[in-house]
Homo-oligomer: A and B are copies of this chain.
Amino acid sequence: MAYYIVGIDLGGTKIASALLDTDLSIVKNDTVRTDNSRGPEGVADQMAESVKRLTEGLGREAVLGVGVASAGLVEPGTGKVLYSPNLDWRDVPLRDMLSERLGMEEVYVDNDVNMAALGELHFGAGQGARHMICVFVGTGIGSGIVIDGHLYAGANGFAGEVGHTTIDWDGPPCPSGNPGCWESYASGTAMARRAREALERGETSILKDMVGGDLAQLRVETIAEADRDGDALARRILAETGEYLGAGLSNLVNTLNPELIVMGGGVIRGVPQLFDLAEASMRRRSLPDAVAAVRTARAHFGREAGVIGAGVLVKLAGKP
């Protein structure tokens, strides 16, 4: 008989769920907009309904478990969401809430970035790596750190919050309060902001026409396309962003001397040029002996990283 796993990627805007086979190939998808208006109870209801739609017609014994990759801080072991900035949740026992709704014990919840790193480690670009850092660049920058072949959580689960490391000790303040955070320089949000600011200052660029004059429509993909067309502003923004990305990456290299750095996330996917620019800056800025040991790779999984990672969580939980 065939066995299945349900992976759920719980985000602030959508709940992306998938039925996976035991090789973690996606069999079926189910995506709904997150409705947080009734708080955690309502969102848990939505998640349970997705699971029921995906597993309809399958016998209970065919479903090995449900994994949830959640934004924010999740207590290891209990699957309690201690803090989710996107959903504005504190201390939500999501694992237990979902387990009760599904009448199923095999429910596992963990942090989405860590799950994406786990997916890369076991089934993606990081297979066989001992010391690896997966850096995901999107609206912010997050990372999952693998030490000795295992996810490293830190003292209370906050390891890998590299988006808030400082690359400019007296730089502009990040919403986190800290001046000069890496992500306030090198995230997709920061790229788009710098492009808009330059256009508002009156810099000449095809970017303005590309968004029909509506600067709110400017995306990192727009900048990537303008760069390919030789636009000077787009080129400068990519060069700067590569430089900033490399500064933060070199901090990871000099501190942790990993053998592998995997780069992924929406910005690296949408602006593929950034990977090489970031790597070049990282190699130039790191101690030569330390960076000599470091390989780099693009993340194997894309948007599906969360649901795949959640599936890995179920697979690993089933192991002795």
Contact = CB atoms under 8 A, between A and B. Distances in A.
A290 interface: yes
Contacts of A292: 156
A252 B250 contact: no
B287 A154 contact: no
A24 to B, nearest CB: 27
A155 B287 contact: no
Contact of A169 (B147, B153, B162, B167): B167
Contact of A257 (B83, B157, B166, B293): B157
A158 interface: yes
Interface centre among A152, A153, A258, A259 (most CB of B within 10 A): A152
A301 interface: no
Contacts of A203: none
The copy count of this chain in the complex is: 2
A71 B259 CA distance: 23
A250 B167 contact: no
Interface in A111-146: 130-131, 145
A159 interface: yes
A160 interface: yes
A167 B167 CA distance: 5
Contacts of A166: 167, 247-248, 250-251, 285
Contact-size category for A: 35 or more
A206 interface: no
A158 B287 contact: yes
Contacts of A244: 169
Given A131-B155, A155-B131, A165 B289 contact: no
A161 B285 contact: no
A119 B279 CA distance: 36
Contacts of A255: 145, 159-162, 165, 251-252, 255-256
Interface in A259-314: 259, 285-287, 289-290, 292-294
A156 to B, nearest CB: 4
Interface of A: 73, 82-83, 130-131, 145, 147-148, 152-162, 164-170, 176, 178-179, 185, 243-244, 247-248, 250-252, 254-259, 285-287, 289-290, 292-294
Given A154-B258, A159-B256, A178-B287, 10 more contacts: A160-B255, A161-B290, A164-B287, A165-B254, A165-B255, A166-B250, A167-B168, A169-B243, A169-B244, A169-B247
18 contacts: A73-B289, A154-B257, A156-B290, A156-B292, A158-B293, A160-B255, A161-B287, A162-B254, A164-B254, A166-B247, A166-B248, A167-B168, A176-B287, A178-B250, A179-B285, A252-B255, A255-B255, A255-B256
